[in-house]
């Protein structure tokens, strides 16, 4: 069967039509994906800035609370036990804090003056004296850096593999401008990571 000129023209027109439709779909899809990526990038930038602000605010609040409790240790109490009990009771109401130590500089090195564990972790035998000492040995902080007025951080794990963040905070300043006492906090990493829980899409993209 021979095709007539009309049939050939109709076939060519249909082919060009299909090519045009396919091309339109391709370019529409390409532009849509490109636009989505641009929107996602912008969203990531906005959320990253928001998260950074939240973390700065949260860490500032934690540091302020630690300095308040540290200042309480300099006050006069009926006994040392009363002082430590007062600090521990205040430490217990903050889920972010699981331990606190004040270090004093003696003969050129920082030594622990006192340590306070969160009652919940103390009951689990996760933050007793030996546990604090193991954290100092296995996950040391840069006290030299902190003594110059800077914050110092390091990641660590408790004996049951609970992830924590250790943070050193300058506390008592000497006339020379350096700090002779530092506060070290053991922070619950899971509580800190909640800052990211409502931004999973963007942090996954990052």
Residue 186: predicted pLDDT:
92
Mean of the pLDDT values across residues 55-60? Answer: 74
Taking the chain, what is the end-to-end CA distance rounded to the nearest angstrom?
62
Confidence of residue 12 (pLDDT cuts 50, 70, 90): low
187, 97 contact by CB (below 8 A): yes
Structure confidence at residue 145 as a pLDDT band (50, 70, 90): very high
Least confident range of 1-5, 21-25, 81-85, 126-130 = 1-5
Mean pLDDT of 42-54: 62
Other CB atoms within 10 Å distance of the CB of residue 89: 11
Of the two residues 27 and 62, the one the predictor is more confident about is 62
Q: Indicate whether 176 pLDDT > 70.
A: yes
- Which residue from 91, 92, 21, 96 is spatially nearest to 57, judged by alpha carbons? 96
DSSP label of 178 = S
Q: Which residue has the tokens 């050193």?
A: 168
- What is the mean predicted confidence (pLDDT) over 41-62? 67
Average pLDDT, the chain: 76
CA distances (Å), origin 20, targets 7, 16, 32, 60, 112: 20, 6, 18, 59, 76
Rounded CA gap, 198 and 115, in Å? 34
Contact in structure between 95 and 154 (CB atoms under 8 Å): no
5-72 helix and 80-92 helix, angle to the nearest 10 degrees: 160
pTM flag (> 0.75): no
- Residue 139 banded pLDDT, cuts 50, 70, 90: very high
Residue 134 has pLDDT above 50, yes or no: yes
* pLDDT number for residue 206: 47
> Is the predicted pLDDT of residue 16 greater than 60, yes or no?
no
Q: Token pair of 38, please?
A: 């641009």
d(CA 188, CA 45): 27
The percent of residues above 70 in pLDDT, for the chain, comes to: 67
Backbone angles phi, psi at 2, to 5 degrees: -95, 135
Q: Which range among 58-62, 143-147, 152-156 shows the weakest confidence by mean pLDDT?
A: 58-62
Cα separation, 162 vs 191, whole angstroms = 12
What pLDDT is attached to residue 205?
Answer: 47
What span, in angstroms and rounded, lies between the C-alpha atoms of 178 and 169? 12
31-46 burial, b for 16+ CB within 10 Å, e for fewer?
eeeeeeeeeeeeebee
């Amino acid at each position: 069967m021979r095709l007539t000129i009309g049939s050939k023209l109709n076939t060519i027109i249909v082919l060009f039509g299909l090519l045009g439709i396919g091309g339109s779909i391709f370019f529409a899809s390409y532009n849509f994906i490109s636009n989505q990526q641009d929107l996602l990038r912008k969203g990531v930038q906005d959320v990253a800035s928001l998260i950074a602000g939240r973390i700065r605010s949260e860490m500032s609040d934690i540091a302020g609370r630690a300095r308040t409790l540290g200042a309480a240790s300099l006050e006069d109490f009926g006994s040392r036990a009363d002082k430590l009990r007062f600090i521990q009771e205040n430490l217990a109401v903050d889920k972010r804090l699981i331990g606190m130590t004040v270090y004093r500089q003696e003969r050129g090195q920082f030594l622990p003056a006192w340590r306070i564990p969160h009652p919940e972790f103390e009951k689990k035998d996760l933050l007793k004296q030996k546990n604090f000492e193991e954290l100092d040995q296995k996950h040391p902080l840069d006290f030299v850096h902190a003594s110059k007025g800077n914050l110092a951080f390091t990641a660590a794990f408790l004996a049951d593999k609970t992830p924590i963040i250790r943070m050193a905070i300058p506390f008592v300043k000497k006339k020379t401008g350096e700090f002779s006492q530092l506060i070290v906090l053991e922070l619950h990493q899971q509580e800190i990571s909640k800052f990211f829980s409502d931004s999973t899409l963007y942090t996954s993209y990052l």
